[in-house]
Structure 1
């Protein structure tokens, strides 16, 4: 999607490299792109004529099983972190694709299978080491540089380069997980809506609308056909697995299923091969307080016209622990939403870009009457700059003030930008 040509690429190996790179970019007035896991759909991890600061070599991790915490460098992916913590039967909320970087996901909020039980990734952040626009290293937590600590929990990469994250960990070892496929029918979505509203918080169940993938447990007649998939992650007691399976069976006619006990990290790898590097992506996101019948009709309409096998719409439930955090306690503003929706057209051929992007825009526009004004910043595209105030709602003005204090020249602007003026 993004054919850009930076003047310089720095592959940092330590904090000193990060400090030097930020200082160099500021002194020479160069655009600065910070690259973590390289999952930025808008292409913010690269730039034309500027400096790309890549953290991919900074992947150190240290787990403290007694304190139930982990410190991870900014270049780590969720595969790195999950691998390290799983050895101790511990986990924290992370992304649903293993190659996603911890940095971008956490700074934008952080949705995942454990959100209902454990909160967002940013809710589990205990501290962070951050290099400011002045090239200074600060350790931020509730007591030190508390304004920055508040801002980076949902405010994106607007305030500096986070070189390490310290997370709270939870007792999560094996889970019951995997996909269950259903026909694209309103009743399935209504039954899911009822189930998730009453389900224990240990249930992570993401609803997807996609085209049936070529998986061995899905009949060939459904390959390439519009379907609903419920991605289950039950982190509760194993003796309640049967009840979860029975509830899945009652959502609608099961077309195919692969739900089994597995180590928690495995659930975040199940679809890696269906989304290889090199695809084109364009996302649109929105928050909703309820999955209304009218919104379901929109999902059925556009789901029936899904343009490509790799495309999907995902509804992440964000009730439970996510809603027990006050809307002004972190920069993540939509604590009253129950779903974060991402419309995600993905396709392999450049010639198909216009068609896929038009489908995504029209889908998002059709959902507007049934959605909140703002959306999750990690689901925003490059053409969503006009939505930044709405995305942060009541927290936007405070974020602007913090930006003015710590980055008045807007060095960190290649993001969903909170401008200092």
Structure 2
């Protein structure tokens, strides 16, 4: 840092060279702009830079490198590890990079990483096309995609990264690159699952998949161990056109469920069928036969309707989350899930079961930096609550203990659901040769580890 000028003056000089907006502690909008989606984190950066274009990103990276200021990157702000903010450093805020270019002839889209999953979904479904993102429409497409993207199209079209064709990014050296299968293929491999370790991604190019007809929505069933295990068994045997996410959680006070069930644990199966209503009826019949549904809202709808249960953005709960990949989900495991949820004091807690397979499993394990293609089921536990660091520590321990109870302790994990775990937790996301290869690529594109506010992969020596 240049000691001849106070930091505030240096940031003002940076601001004068950018097209975007620089927000500092002197600005009335500072607290609003610096806030992130999860209430666990309340960090106060020296400045938040709402970049306007890729040149702004390059300028901020060069400034951070010259001043030795810690650099955070924010897309949607949902980082479970709190990496969307920094204490005293700089935040590159991508939310104004919200351009979208849909090419119907080639069935592709270039989307800015300031967009959310819901933004892109609502735009492309107007053309009868889809990208498979995650299970929330408010999450930014940047972080979601770079970690893999496990959502409602996972059996039909694979992970989000399986539809990724190219990425525009700025490296630690300030270089603007487009990485794809033919240009910087090592970097393109690493970006598909390796997180934000290799640069600031500003745009993503996706292949758009046809979706002429869709049937989906929540199927709410009684939460017994037998019902949960049967749901997982049926999801594994279902056609690839049907992807599910089973959520075992207290029923919120929603109007489509009778009040007597509100607050009680239930199995909410989010059903997503790519096909006609007649074909969906046949695929869904075994699930409806598990037990008399508490509620059944599965029907023809726009794909974006899957995001209708998203909480409003002004809600900023603290969240603790842990995940593991397992080979099966037995009645015994389901009973342990129910016991863990009953023991959790948070009013809103959840056990998730995402049965994989289909297109997800047909990609080679080493084709991308996401190395868990043989994983059959992803299990996750989440707790949402209010409180400080001591409360977060308590619920982090609960989530860890809960996932340990239903899986082997050293089983692999999903990087987008990792908290502040480091060490063993991070290696669970990148096993064996994947870790070594990522470290080599990190050394090539970020040898000084400028991009370290993430699930950090240190450069190889």
For Structure 1 versus Structure 2, the TM-score category normalised by the shorter chain is over 0.9
1:2 partnered with 2:41: yes
**For residues 315 and 76 of structure 2, what CA distance do their matches in structure 1 show?**
12
Aligned positions of 1:281-300 closer than 5 A: 281-300=319-338
Partner of 1:382: 420
Select the residue among 107, 110, 114 that pairs with 2:153: 114
Q: 1:12 to 1:312 in 2, by over 3 A?
A: same
Task: Give the superposition deviation at 1:206.
Answer: 0.7
Instruction: Indicate the SS of the match to 1:400.
Output: helix
Q: 1:367 to 1:404 in 2, by over 3 A?
A: same
**For residues 414 and 173 of structure 1, what CA distance do their matches in structure 2 show?**
40
Partner of 2:134: 95
Partner of 1:86: 125
Task: Give the superposition deviation at 1:24.
Answer: 0.8
Aligned positions of 1:270-419 closer than 5 A: 270-273=309-312, 277-350=315-388, 352-369=391-408, 373-394=411-432, 395-419=434-458
Aligned positions of 1:146-295 closer than 5 A: 146-273=185-312, 277-295=315-333
Select the residue among 52, 67, 82 that pairs with 1:43: 82
Instruction: Indicate the SS of the match to 1:157.
Output: helix
The number of residue pairs the alignment matches comes to: 419
Larger Rg: 2
1:13 partnered with 2:60: no
Instruction: Indicate the SS of the match to 2:428.
Output: helix
The answer to whether the Cα contact below 8 Å between 2:71 and 2:450 also exists between their aligned partners in 1 is: yes
Instruction: Indicate the SS of the match to 1:213.
Output: coil
Task: Give the superposition deviation at 1:372.
Answer: 5.6
Aligned positions of 1:52-67 closer than 5 A: 52-67=91-106
Partner of 2:174: 135
Moved more, 182-191 or 111-120: 182-191
Task: Give the superposition deviation at 1:340.
Answer: 1.7
Task: Give the superposition deviation at 1:193.
Answer: 2.2
The answer to whether the Cα contact below 8 Å between 1:290 and 1:339 also exists between their aligned partners in 2 is: yes
The answer to whether the Cα contact below 8 Å between 1:212 and 1:309 also exists between their aligned partners in 2 is: no
Task: Give the superposition deviation at 1:292.
Answer: 3.1
Task: Give the superposition deviation at 1:354.
Answer: 4.9
The answer to whether the Cα contact below 8 Å between 2:326 and 2:411 also exists between their aligned partners in 1 is: no
Q: Deviations over 1:257-292 (max 9, x none)?
A: 22221101111232334x753111111111112213
The runs of 5 or more residues in structure 1 that have no matched partner are none
Task: Give the superposition deviation at 1:79.
Answer: 1.4
Q: 1:309 to 1:235 in 2, by over 3 A?
A: farther
Instruction: Indicate the SS of the match to 1:99.
Output: coil
**For residues 361 and 93 of structure 2, what CA distance do their matches in structure 1 show?**
34
The answer to whether the Cα contact below 8 Å between 2:101 and 2:111 also exists between their aligned partners in 1 is: yes
The answer to whether the Cα contact below 8 Å between 1:74 and 1:165 also exists between their aligned partners in 2 is: yes
Instruction: Indicate the SS of the match to 2:254.
Output: coil
Task: Give the superposition deviation at 1:93.
Answer: 0.8
Q: Deviations over 1:218-276 (max 9, x none)?
A: 22121111111111111122222322442222122312222221101111232334x75
Moved more, 398-407 or 352-361: 352-361
Moved more, 237-246 or 22-31: 237-246
The answer to whether the Cα contact below 8 Å between 1:213 and 1:309 also exists between their aligned partners in 2 is: no
Task: Give the superposition deviation at 1:174.
Answer: 4.1
**For residues 343 and 207 of structure 1, what CA distance do their matches in structure 2 show?**
12
Partner of 2:22: none
Q: Normalising by the residue count of structure 2, what TM-score does the alignment of the two structures yield?
A: 0.87
Q: 1:233 to 1:372 in 2, by over 3 A?
A: farther
**For residues 137 and 147 of structure 2, what CA distance do their matches in structure 1 show?**
17
The answer to whether the Cα contact below 8 Å between 1:210 and 1:309 also exists between their aligned partners in 2 is: no
**For residues 276 and 299 of structure 1, what CA distance do their matches in structure 2 show?**
30
The runs of 5 or more residues in structure 2 that have no matched partner are 1-39
